[in-house]
Amino acid sequence: MKNVINNSKKVFLMVALLATVMGYANDRTFFISKGEANKTVLSIDVKEGNLFTIKDENGITLYKEAIQQTGIYTKGFDLTSLPDGSYFFELDKDVEVTTIPFTVSSKEVTFNKALSKTIFKPLTVVKNDYILVSQLSLNETPLEVEIYYEAGSYTEPYQLLHSETISGTKNIKRVYKLANFVEGKYKIVYKSEGKEFIKFI
């Protein structure tokens, strides 16, 4: 009887594990297919307010669109008209940024989904005169934090109060205490994985 219970637990665990793996397998953040007239058709799960862009390898924006409706965003792009080089799709969501790189060579477009990545944005919570900062960094990528105070000067509108680089952890957490905190007077600049995020508080 004990073996039956143990085997039942194992089967239940395997089913739960399989369901989890299948859940990840079915989680298609984006889907790319070939369309008519050399068009690449992108289908991506979006929410209203997300920002979709196409950028070159230098980060220059070639196309930008603010998402107007929650659901599946589908659009065709003639990427073969771009000069040979490296590019990427970018979807800026509430708490994360997903990039999908591709290359153009002799009017051939190649995607490498293995190089796609998601960067989690730093989260900022203000409680009384404390600033709580957190970020999930699966690759333990360093996070640069700069806290500025609005000085009000025309030549120098913000004065740097604190700066540090946090590294060596997947779960970044910091608490900062601001003396004489006045809401609307601070700017926090975060830099991680070549991206910059700005928060005003």
C-alpha Rg value of the chain to the nearest Å: 22
121 contacts 96 by C-beta, under 8 angstroms: yes
* Residue 119 to residue 99: CA distance in whole angstroms: 8
* Residue 92 to residue 134: CA distance in whole angstroms: 18
| Residue-level pLDDT at 29 | 62
- Enter the tokens of residue 91: 């979807």
% of the chain exceeding 90 in pLDDT: 56
Q: Name the nearest CA neighbour of 143 among 179, 161, 170.
A: 170
Taken as a whole, the chain contains a residue count of: 201
| Residue-level pLDDT at 104 | 94
Alpha helices in 27-82 (DSSP H): none
| Residue-level pLDDT at 163 | 95
Amino acid, res. 191: K
pLDDT at residue 97 tops 70: yes
Residue owning tokens 């609005």: 150
* Residue 185 to residue 166: CA distance in whole angstroms: 24
- What is the average per-residue pLDDT within 16-25? 32
| Full-model pTM | 0.73
**Chain mean pLDDT for the chain:** 83
Residues 6+ apart with CB under 8 A from 54: 61, 62, 63, 77, 87, 88, 89, 90
| Residue-level pLDDT at 174 | 95
Which band of pLDDT confidence, cut at 50, 70 and 90, is reported for residue 1?
Answer: very low
pLDDT at residue 20 tops 60: no
